[in-house]
Structure 1
Amino acid sequence: MKIQDVIRNKGTEVVTIPPTSLVETLVALLHERNIGAVVVSTDGRHIEGIISERDVIHALATDGVGVLAKPVSELMTARVYTVSPDDGIEETAHAMTYQRIRHVPVVVSGEMHAIVSIGDVVKWRIDQLTDERNHLLGYLHA
């Protein structure tokens, strides 16, 4: 199975924020949308970085509340791990687990197409296992 299977169920919406936005704006956006990470992008198509609630917590612990007045670009991760819709779900799950990445943008022809979280991958796998179990139960009871 491929990442495109996860996207088919989840959708392609990606929440972005410009790199010049303040961290306090980011925090409000994370809260408002009930999400854990935002792709940093000036134009909404090209990835400049990614920033998560974990990045904000680490910065708060290190620098204090003054971090809320800093631009997102100062906290974001600039080297972003990405996948394509044709990449395998299992390989992506392994990479996310071992690299400790919870959100992975999906890129097509150099432009952002979607974003997949570790929760999306786990949900997809649970749904797949449930379907397999139901098919086996149906076979046994037939």
Structure 2
Amino acid sequence: MNVASILKSKGRAVSTVRPNATLLDVVKKLAPKKIGAVVVVGDSGRVDGIISERDIIRAVADHGVHALGMTVSEVMTRVVVSCQEMSELDELMEMMTKGRFRHLPVIEDDALVGIISIGDVVKYHLAEVQLEVSAMRNYIATG
């Protein structure tokens, strides 16, 4: 299964934020949507970074409550690992495990077209495994 299949099922909506937004602005986006990261998009519409719960926690640990007034550009992860629609689940699992992150923006032709979370990867990987198990059981049962 590839990213395009996942996006077809889950949708392509991505929560974004501007680099000049505050961390408080981000927290107010993350909490009600029950998401763990937002993509930082600059004036050109290109991905400038990503900011996750972990980035915010680190900022609060370093700066205390004053961190909530800091801008996203001061805290965001600037080197964004991304994937493409043709990327396969195994590839995503490897990237996320090695990089120790939970969100991958999906970029095609320099445009943000979706986001994949570790939860998406696990959900669709389990579906693949269950399909394989079912096929094996049918094969064994019918000889």
Identical positions, percent = 37
Q: Which residue of 2 aligns with 1:81?
A: 81
Q: Is residue 7 from structure 1 mapped to residue 7 from structure 2 by the alignment?
A: yes
Any idea what the Cα deviations from partners look like across 1:9-46, whole Å, max 9, x if unmatched? 22111000111111111001100111000001135942
List gaps (5 residues or longer) in structure 2.
none
- Equivalenced residue count is 142
1:3–1:89 contact (8 Å) kept in structure 2:
yes
Q: Which runs of 4+ in 1 moved over 4 A?
A: none
The amino acid of 1:32's aligned partner reads P
**Structure 1: runs of 5+ lacking an equivalent:** none
Letter in 2 for 1:39: V
Question: For 1:21-32, what aligned pairs fall within 5 Å after superposition?
Answer: 21-32=21-32
TM-score (norm 1): 0.92
Question: 1:132: how far off?
Answer: 1.6
Amino acid at match of 2:73: S
CA distance, structure 2, for counterparts of residue 77 and residue 53 of structure 1: 11
The CA distance in 1 between the partners of 2:43 and 2:33, in whole Å, is 20
Q: TM-score, normalised by structure 2?
A: 0.92
Residue 125 (structure 1) aligns with: 125
What are the superposed Cα offsets for residues 35-70 of structure 1, whole Å, 9 maximum, x if unpaired? 000001135942011000011111111110100011
Report if aligned partners of 1:104, 1:117 keep a CA contact under 8 Å in 2: yes
Aligned positions of 1:55-66 closer than 5 A:
55-66=55-66
The equivalent residue for 2:103 is 103
CA distance in 1: counterparts of 2:44 and 2:120, whole angstroms: 22
